[in-house]
Amino acid sequence: MPKSKYEFIYKDLKQKIESEEYAYQELLPSENQLVLAYNCSRNTIRRAVGRLVTDGYVQTMQGKGVRNIYRPVAQTSYTIGGIESFKESSIRNHKKGRSVVLQFMELTADEKISRRTGFPVGSELYYIQRLHFLDEKPLIINHNYFLKSAACGLTPEIAENSIYEYLENTLHMTIVNSKRVMTVEKITQIDEKYLELDVNDYNCLAVITSHTYNSDGVMFEFTQSRHRPDYFRFQDNAVRRSVS
Q: What is the pTM of this model?
A: 0.65
- In whole angstroms, what is the distance from residue 31 CA to residue 8 CA? 16
Cβ of 242: how many Cβ atoms within 10 Å? Answer: 4
Reduced DSSP (H G I as helix, E B as strand, rest coil) percent helix, strand, coil of the chain, to 5: 30, 35, 35
CA of residue 99 relative to chain centroid, distance: 15
For residue 10, give Cα distances in angstroms to 168, 224, 239.
16, 28, 20
The pLDDT of residue 79 is: 54
Q: Are 211 and 219 in contact (CB under 8 A)?
A: yes
DSSP 211: E
- In whole angstroms, what is the distance from residue 163 CA to residue 139 CA? 18
> In a structure prediction context, what are the per-residue pLDDT tens digits for the chain, which is 244 residues long?
445 788 899 999 999 998 889 988 899 999 999 999 999 999 999 999 999 998 888 999 888 899 998 876 554 445 555 566 677 777 766 778 899 999 999 999 999 999 999 999 999 999 999 999 988 889 999 999 999 999 999 999 999 999 999 999 999 999 988 898 999 998 888 998 899 887 667 788 999 999 999 999 999 999 999 998 877 776 665 554 555 5
